[in-house]
Amino acid sequence: MSQYRAIRGMVDVLPDETPLWQMLEQTARDVLAAHGYAEIRTPIVESTELFARSIGEVTDIVEKEMYSFPDRNDDSLSLRPEGTASTVRAAVQHNLIQSPQRVWYMGPMFRYERPQKGRQRQFHQLGVETFGVAGPEQDAELLLMCRQWWTRLGINDVLTLELNTIGSPEARASYKAALTDYLRDHFDSLDEDSQRRLDTNPLRILDSKSVTTQAILDDAPSMAEYLDEESQRHHERLCQLLDMAGLTYTSNPRLVRGLDYYNKTVFEWTTDKLGAQATVCGGGRYDMMVGQFGGKATPASGFAAGLERLVLLMQTLNLDAIAAPDLYIVSSDENAFGQAMLEADRIRVEFPGLGVVQHLGGGSFKSQFKRADKSGAAWAMVFGAEEMVSGKVTLKALRANEEQMTLSREELDVFLGQLEQLTNEY
């Protein structure tokens, strides 16, 4: 019989990787809490229309990447391809938008894309959405918060912030018309994808990967010429705030994003360490969506980071978190095992910051020590015949070159207290 395998593009995160995931998630929670953001949890399934209307009918996501299906009542539902639409739906439904709100979410998203390194069909995002602040200071706060997260993860140096403004919907409409006119004159030289997009979503042509299309775009009209005054002021103030904070960015006038709901600020954090899937985080302002979903018109701004890509980046930079326990407990026989089990139980209660693994399944001291070593533990704690008689325990350093110690229970508690403190500092 053939074995079952995970669905293509949907990936198991295995125990040797979860410590890194947990570290990434915990760091995000810490940074978000430090900025006054609260968590929101929305369903994974929503009505298909919710996504189609907000993300845009003619985007890749809605046209060909959604996991949509009729439920038993024949309503069209979709697995969420992103978190912004659901968050806005929930915020309007529960009247969260009466005063400014700062929320975040973390969880799986689904897009039927061609899987490759850094691109999956089930992937995970940490998303942040804010409501009620129209000014660029909200965009600045989001970007500074990203930088804090990157810094805590140790990846700030390998990330570039690409920044653009796509103006008001009206400004964008006139720009779209001018761009379409220009590109129509070069239609035959455009790549196939861009030819198709010319009538449906011409702005997306700006980030075409085709070298010839990019060359044609060199002489195309630029968004800046069509920008409305308010968007321009917004962008200038944002740049000023980022400059003040020493947050460097690259202006990318061709950055338009793959979702249709944005206006004014758009941005992406990219890296040159991950090959083709270079964007680890993207976002911007979407001031129309709340009104579009039936709420009182409310400005909004947010971003989402791809957790798989951050994990890959940290692995590439060898920043994997160490999953090893602090103590690995070995024992000589059944009697010693029983004692060791009680002691392990006690230590876990009294020193909750320590990771304590007890060896199960017996075996010689030699084989137990081999397993202790393999676990990556810092210390082996030994319960042998001698320890049973003396009531003391022996500690052997497995990584550092330190003397073996035989300690009374009082001495042991002092030692474990110090070890716990060290672990917490790390």
Instruction: Compute CA distances 344 → 33, 202, 306, 389, whole Å.
Output: 33, 64, 38, 19
Number of chain positions touching ligand HAM (CB under 6 A): 27
Kindly tell me which of 124 and 359 has the beta carbon lying closer to ligand HAM.
124
- In whole angstroms, the minimum distance from the beta carbon of 62 to ligand HAM comes to 12
Hey, which residues between 247 and 266 contact ligand HAM (CB under 6 A)? Answer: 258-259
**Cα separation of 384 and 389, whole Å?**
9
Q: What share of the chain is helix, strand, coil (3-state, %, to 5)?
A: 45, 20, 35
| Interface pick for ligand HAM out of 35, 53, 119, 254 (rule CB under 6 A) | 119
Kindly tell me which of 120 and 263 has the beta carbon lying closer to ligand HAM.
120
- x/- letters, 76..115, toward ligand HAM (CB under 6 A): ------xxx--------------------------x-x--
| Interface pick for ligand HAM out of 308, 326, 343, 387 (rule CB under 6 A) | 308
Q: Going by C-beta distance under 8 Å and a sequence separation of 6 or more, which residues neighbour residue 213? A: 189, 190, 191, 194, 205
- In whole angstroms, the minimum distance from the beta carbon of 214 to ligand HAM comes to 20
The piece of 21-29, 31-39, 146-154, 281-289 that touches ligand HAM (CB under 6 A) is: 281-289
Q: Two tokens at 252?
A: 């990318």
- Closest chain position to ligand HAM (CB): 306
**Cα separation of 100 and 98, whole Å?**
7
| Interface pick for ligand HAM out of 46, 60, 129, 326 (rule CB under 6 A) | 129
Kindly tell me which of 211 and 276 has the beta carbon lying closer to ligand HAM.
276
Q: What is the DSSP letter of 282?
A: E
**Cα separation of 169 and 288, whole Å?**
9
**Cα separation of 23 and 8, whole Å?**
27
- In whole angstroms, the minimum distance from the beta carbon of 137 to ligand HAM comes to 17
**Cα separation of 48 and 284, whole Å?**
23
Kindly tell me which of 133 and 347 has the beta carbon lying closer to ligand HAM.
133
Is 293 in contact with 91 (CB distance < 8 Å)? no
| Interface pick for ligand HAM out of 42, 48, 125, 298 (rule CB under 6 A) | 125
- The string over 2-23, giving b where at least 16 C-beta atoms fall within 10 Å of a residue's C-beta and e elsewhere, is eeeeeeebebeeeeebeebbeb
| Interface pick for ligand HAM out of 148, 189, 214, 279 (rule CB under 6 A) | 279
| Interface pick for ligand HAM out of 309, 358, 379, 387 (rule CB under 6 A) | 309
Residue 32 contacts ligand HAM per CB under 6 A: no
First and final CA of the chain: distance in angstroms? 48
Question: Of 322, 202, 306, whose CA–CA distance to 254 is shortest?
Answer: 202
- x/- letters, 288..307, toward ligand HAM (CB under 6 A): --------------xxx-x-
Cα torsion 32, 37, 41, 46 to 10°: value is -110
Residue type present at position 294: G
Kindly tell me which of 85 and 412 has the beta carbon lying closer to ligand HAM.
85
- In whole angstroms, the minimum distance from the beta carbon of 333 to ligand HAM comes to 51
Residue 127 contacts ligand HAM per CB under 6 A: yes
Kindly tell me which of 261 and 328 has the beta carbon lying closer to ligand HAM.
261
- The string over 283-317, giving b where at least 16 C-beta atoms fall within 10 Å of a residue's C-beta and e elsewhere, is bbbbbbbbeebebeebbbbbbbbbbbbbbbbbeee
Using CB under 6 A as the criterion, which residues of the chain lie in contact with ligand HAM when the complex forms? 82-84, 111, 113, 118-120, 123, 125, 127, 129, 258-259, 279-284, 286, 302-304, 306, 308-309
